[in-house]
A and B are shown apart, each in its own frame.
Chain A
Amino acid sequence: MDQFRRFGIPLLVLLAASLPLFIENGYLMHSVLGKVCIYLIIVAGLDLVVGYSGDVSAGHAGLFAVGAYASAILMWKFRTPFPVCVLVGTSLGALFGIVLGVPALRLRGPYLAVSTIAFGIIIQTIVNEAVPLTQGSSGIREIPKLEAFGVNLDGNYFYWAVFPFTVIALLMKQGIVTSYWGRSFEALKENPVAAACSGVSRYRFKLSAFVTSAALTGFAGSFFPHVDKYIGPPTFSFELSVSFLIMLIFGGTRSILGNILGTFSIVILPDVFNFINDWRLAIYGGLLLFTLYFLPRGLVGLLINIRDRLFPAAATATGPALTRLAESGGEAVHLRPEAAQTKPGEPLLELKELTIKFGGLTAVNKLDMVVKRGQIHALIGPNGSGKSTTVNLITGIYTPTSGEVLLRGRKVTGAPDKISALGIARTFQNVALFGDMTVVDNVMVGLHHSFQGGFLDLVLRTPRARHEEKSARARAVALLDFVGLGHLAQERAKNLPYGKQRLLEIARALGSDPSLLLLDEPAAGLTSGEIGDMDAIIRKVRDAGVTVFLIEHHMDLVMSISDEITVLDFGQRIAQGTPAEIQANERVINAYLGTSGGGHHLGTHSTH
Chain B
Amino acid sequence: MNFTFAELVQLIFSGVALGMIYALLAFGYNITFSTSRTLNFSQGDFLMLGAFISYTIILHITGKRLPPSWLVWALALVAAATLGGLLAIILQQVAIKPALKTGSDVSWILATISLGIIAKNVAERIWGTDDYPVRSPLGSDLWSLFGGKLNIDPRELMIIVAAALIMVGFEFFRRKSLLGKAVTAVAADKDAAALMGINVPVVIAFSFIVSCAIAAMGGVLVGPLTFVSASMGALLGVKAYAVSVIGGLQSGLGVIAGGLILGLSEQLTARFVSTGYKDTPGFIILILILLLKPDGLFGKAAVKKV
Contacts and interface: CB of A to CB of B under 8 A. Distances in A.
Interface in B119-172: 120-122, 124-125
Interface string B228-268: 00000011001101100100010000000000000000000
A358 interface: no
Nearest to B39: A110
Contacts of A106: 294, 305
Contact of B113 (A58, A100, A202, A280): A58
Contacts of B122: 282
A114 B104 contact: no
A56 B105 contact: yes
A239 interface: yes
B106 A54 contact: yes
B306 interface: yes
Interface stretch (B173-181, B187-195, B285-293): B285-293
Contacts of A242: 113-114, 117
B14 to A, nearest CB: 19
Main secondary structure of the interface of B (DSSP, over half): helix
A160 interface: no
A121 interface: yes
Contacts of A114: 241, 245, 286
B238 A289 contact: no
Interface string B1-44: 00000000000000000000000000000000000011101000
B283 A129 contact: no
A100 B109 contact: no
Nearest to A108: B304
A556 B34 CA distance: 45
Interface residues of B, number: 49
Contacts of B110: 56, 245, 249, 288, 292
A293 B98 contact: yes
Nearest to A111: B290
Interface string A479-512: 0000000000000000000000000000000000
A416 interface: yes
Given A56-B105, A114-B245, A285 B283 contact: no
Contacts of B306: 108, 192-193, 196, 202, 397, 415-416
B86 interface: no
B126 to A, nearest CB: 12
A238 B231 CA distance: 11
A397 B304 CA distance: 11
Contacts of A54: 104-106
Nearest to B245: A114
B121 A56 contact: no
Contacts of B290: 103-104, 107, 111, 115
Interface string A167-181: 000000000000000
Interface in B264-301: 274, 276-277, 279-280, 282-283, 286-287, 290-291, 294
A118 B242 contact: yes
B74 interface: no
A122 B282 CA distance: 9
Contacts of A126: 277, 280
Main secondary structure of the interface of A (DSSP, over half): helix
A288 B294 contact: no
B282 A118 contact: yes
Contacts of A111: 245, 290, 294
B92 to A, nearest CB: 14
Interface string A250-292: 0000000000000000000000000000111110111011001
A9 interface: no
B114 A118 contact: no
Nearest to B276: A129
Contacts of A58: 41, 109, 113
A87 interface: no
B127 to A, nearest CB: 13
Contacts of A128: 276
B303 interface: yes
Q: With a 10 A CB-CB cut-off, give which of A121, A280, A286, A292 has the most chain B CB atoms.
A: A292
Nearest to B38: A110
A329 B187 CA distance: 51
B106 A289 contact: no
Contacts of B37: 109
Contact of B115 (A99, A115, A289): A289
Given A56-B109, A113-B109, A117-B41, A122 B279 contact: yes
B100 interface: no
Contact of B287 (A100, A109, A121, A293): A100
Contacts of B95: 289
Contacts of B111: 288-289, 292
A103 B277 CA distance: 23
A603 to B, nearest CB: 33
Contact of A118 (B106, B109, B238): B238
A285 B114 contact: yes
Q: How large is the interface on A (under 10, 10 to 19, 20 to 34, 35 or more residues)?
A: 35 or more
B131 to A, nearest CB: 16
A318 B280 CA distance: 55
A309 B287 CA distance: 49
Nearest to B275: A129
B234 A121 contact: yes
A125 interface: yes
A107 B118 contact: no
Given A118-B282, A415-B306, A239 B117 contact: yes
A122 B269 CA distance: 14
Given A102-B291, A110-B105, A121-B235, A284 B117 contact: yes
B105 A282 contact: no
Contacts of B105: 54-56, 110, 113
Contacts of A121: 234-235, 238, 279
A434 interface: no
Contacts of A286: 114, 118
B242 to A, nearest CB: 7
A237 B294 CA distance: 28
Contacts of B303: 107-109
A69 interface: no
Contacts of B66: none
B94 interface: yes
A393 interface: no
B184 interface: no
B276 A281 contact: no
A289 B114 contact: yes
A286 B239 CA distance: 26
Contact of B114 (A99, A104, A117, A288): A288
Nearest to B280: A122
A10 B306 CA distance: 43
Contacts of A122: 279-280, 282-283
A140 interface: no
A125 B121 contact: no
Q: With a 10 A CB-CB cut-off, give which of B41, B98, B113, B280 has the most chain A CB atoms.
A: B113
Contacts of B239: 118
B151 to A, nearest CB: 28
A50 interface: yes
A224 interface: no
B107 interface: yes
A119 interface: yes
A242 B113 CA distance: 8
Interface string B76-95: 00000000000000000011
Given A110-B109, A286-B114, 12 more contacts: A106-B305, A107-B290, A109-B249, A110-B38, A111-B294, A113-B41, A118-B286, A126-B280, A193-B306, A282-B117, A282-B122, A288-B114
Closest CB pairs A-B (n = 4): A129-B276, A103-B290, A281-B121, A285-B118
Interface of B: 37-39, 41, 94-95, 98, 104-107, 109-111, 113-118, 120-122, 124-125, 234-235, 238-239, 241-242, 245, 249, 274, 276-277, 279-280, 282-283, 286-287, 290-291, 294, 303-306
7 contacts: A113-B109, A114-B245, A115-B287, A118-B242, A125-B280, A285-B121, A288-B114
